[in-house]
Amino acid sequence: MRAALDTNLLVYAEGFGDEARVSATRQLLDLLSEADLVVPLQCLGELFRVLTGKAGHPARQAQEAVLGWKDAYPVLESNAAAWRGAMDLCVAHQLASWDALVLNVAAEGCARLLLTEDLHQGFSWRGVRVVNPLIEPQDSLLSQLLGG
């Protein structure tokens, strides 16, 4: 089963955020070290923006972090079809355009889960379920991904 990682988890894994989320995200990624994880390209751009903006990292340090994620996981790129699907999500479900793009790209990339804090827990689009991995009880598909 494939899962896509959203920006907020990448940010926490980089150590920016409250200690509980940073720790929980790092532990989760350790547990998922053998899982089929992907990262939408949009999330890498957002990560760079957060690291150089809110987190105050120098651009070169943020660039190295983003390139590290690019090297660690396959990147799902956006295209015109992904944008059309994202707009469908915006119209039908009033999602923010960037969140809709991430979710639709995850669907096009054959992900079964989008791991994020940003969208409505349990929402599904084209076979992708939105799951917040930092809350209890744990989603059944996330449990499967974790091998449980």
Instruction: For residue 69, give the amino acid letter.
Output: W
Query: What is the band of 143 on the pLDDT scale with cuts at 50, 70, 90?
Result: very high
Domain locations along the chain: 2-145
Q: Which tens digits make up the pLDDT trace of 33-50?
A: 999 999 999 999 999 999
Mean pLDDT of the chain: 95
- For residues 24 and 106, what is the distance between their CA atoms, to the nearest angstrom? 23
75-97 average pLDDT score: 95
- For residues 99 and 129, what is the distance between their CA atoms, to the nearest angstrom? 13
User: Which option is the CATH number for 2-145: 3.40.50.1010, 3.30.830.10, 3.40.605.10, 3.40.50.300?
Assistant: 3.40.50.1010
The answer on pLDDT for 148 being more than 80 is: no
Q: And the tokens for 50? A: 């957060």
